[in-house]
Each structure stands twice: as C-alpha cells, then as structure tokens.
Amino acid sequence: MNPGSEIIKKDLTLINEKLLLIAKRIEKFVPGIKRQLFSGGKKLRPSLLMLAYRVVKTNRKDGHLKQALAFASVIEMLHNASLLHDDVIEGSALRRGKETINSLYGNKKAILAGDLLTVFSMTLLSGLKTSKVMERALSICGKAAEKLVQGEIEEVTGLFKTTITEEEYFRIIICKTAVLFRAACETGAVLAGAKTKQARALKVYGNNLGIAFQITDDILDYTSKEEILGKPVMSDLLEGKLTLPMIYLLKSSGKEEKMRLHRIISKIRKGRKEKADFNYVLKLLLKYSSLERAQKKANYFVKKAKTALRDLPESEVKKALFNMAEFAIKREC
C-alpha cells in the first residue's frame, strides 16, 4: 500500500478521475487500458508530486493546485505508457498478476495504446494558465520523458551484457526509474512556490528514492514469489537484464563459477531455460551475499533520500515522505 495515500486521499481521488477520463477515450481503441491504470498500481509518482507540493505549500493558498493535479496525472500516464512499451520489448505476459495488453491484443495495439496515453495526457495541460512556474514544470517533465526513453534504449542495448559495470547499471536505472521520481518531487515543489533550496532538496530526495526503489525491485525479482510479484521470478535474468545482484555475483564468483554463469546466460539468450541453472544462480547469489550487498546499497540511497529532507519543516506530510522512503526498501512487490 502507498504509505502517503491517506495524507493526500482527496488529491488522489481527483487524479484518478482525470486518469479515468483518458482511459475511457482510449478504451474504444484498445480495451483494457482502464485495467492497466487502475489494477494494483501504487500511484507512487503522482503521490510524490502531491506530497512535495503539500510539504512546501503548508498553510498558503493553493495557487497552483489545479496544475499540480494535472502534472501528477501526466507523470502517472507517462509511467504507464513506458510499462506498455516495456511489456512489448520484453515479451511479458503478466503485469501485476494480470495478462498484459500485448499478450491480449498484440504488440501493435499495445504500442499504440502507450502512444495514446502519452498524447492524451498532454491534453490535461491544455487550458491551464501559463506562467514562468508552469514553463519550468513543463521543462522538468519534458526532460524527464527524454531521459526515460534514453534509459530504455541503453537497457535494451545492454541486454545479456556480462561485462556491464555498476556505473552503467546506475546510469540506466536513474534514467528509467529515478528520473520520474525526481521529476515528480521537483515539479510538485516548483508548483508550490518552493525556494531554490527546498526544490533542490525534494529533487535529491526523489532521485535517491527512485534509485533505492529500483534496486529493491531488482532484488525482489530473485527473492519474491510469482503470486506476490505478479510476474515470474527471475524475469530480469530471463530477459537479459543483468541487474545489481548479478553484477556483484559476476565480480565475486570464482573462475569456474564465472564460466558456468556465462554459459547459463548464453543459454537463456538462445531461449533455453533450465531449472537447474536458476537454482545454481540462486545458490551463488547466497554464497557470495550478492543480494545482501545490493540491499545495503538500496539502504544507502534511502538514507540519502531522508537526509535531503532534513531542512524541510516538520509536518505530517514530511513524515509521509519519510515513510515512502522506508516503503521503497521494505515492500514485498
């Protein structure tokens, strides 16, 4: 459950209404979009934007509330559009425990549905009063969308790359995940009229939270269960994504173990999936504490996220942001 949802319950209700309007427009072209937007998603990104807005706005008049709600909806739609495209690229059959749009209606419709989500989301910003604040918010979200695509391209280019470095991994996850967390927090702060120091603090918070969130995702891919994840365990390895646990393992393993890991990765690339291979990978991950090392790294970024908030005024909203940071590394899916 999204730990900040109760604080901004009214905001999320209004955001969901906006999402529903867009979903209904797309449903006639691609049935199932409504389910994509409303089935089990935590709405973390729009929640972060509204929490960042509320933590700064406190007792002042909500001058840009309408804009904040619109941008929160846009960021959620950009996120879901990226998921639709991800499912096509990765050939995923399940998302949040349900059949993906591409598995139900084919890749072409899934891609077009993602495109429609992106295009229609922009209509939410039309008619809003323009200002320097709005221009800045648009710039933040535009750059985030650009980085998001860059991250996806770099990830696809590096599939099954056994020489992937920790630096490359972080560059990818910052672009494909942290960038929207960061944009949500910075946009909320800017629309609330935050001072430069406050906006910077929330931007840093969002970036570090997003990194910790993705590392945790990558750990859960090895440690959770399909019924909890809503997709097969070890999906990342099956798709050729060598994430932080595997990067640590490939660094730590002995010569013969490393050679076998390379053979396993090569077999998976050719479509050969053997249970014994997956068991071997899990055995080595435990032997070399690769999952534990990745968890320590996630904890490090959560600590950085919390530290970034230290100068913000104490409030229930600030507590919610702290809880969001904890949630990033303690969740089960």
Give the whole-angstrom CA distance, residue 298 versus residue 219: 10
Q: Kindly state the average pLDDT of the residues 294-307.
A: 98
pLDDT confidence of 300, banded at 50, 70, 90?
very high
pLDDT reading at 255 higher than 90: yes
Question: Which SS3 state, helix, strand or coil, does residue 240 take?
Answer: coil
Q: Name the least confident of 114-118, 143-147, 295-299.
A: 114-118
Start-to-end CA distance of the chain, whole Å, equals 10
Alpha-helical segments (H) within 58-131: 65-90, 101-105, 107-122
pLDDT reading at 61 higher than 70: no
Average pLDDT over the chain, rounded to an integer: 93
Summarize pLDDT for 203-242 with one digit per residue, the tens. 999 999 999 999 999 999 999 998 888 888 999 999 999 9
Query: Phi, psi (5° rounding) for residue 98?
Result: -125, 160
pLDDT confidence of 129, banded at 50, 70, 90?
confident
Summarize pLDDT for 263-288 with one digit per residue, the tens. 999 999 999 999 999 999 999 999 99
pLDDT confidence of 60, banded at 50, 70, 90?
low
Domains and CATH numbers, the chain: 9-326 (1.10.600.10)
Give the whole-angstrom CA distance, residue 47 versus residue 185: 9
Statement: the pTM of the whole predicted model exceeds 0.75:
yes
pLDDT reading at 197 higher than 70: yes
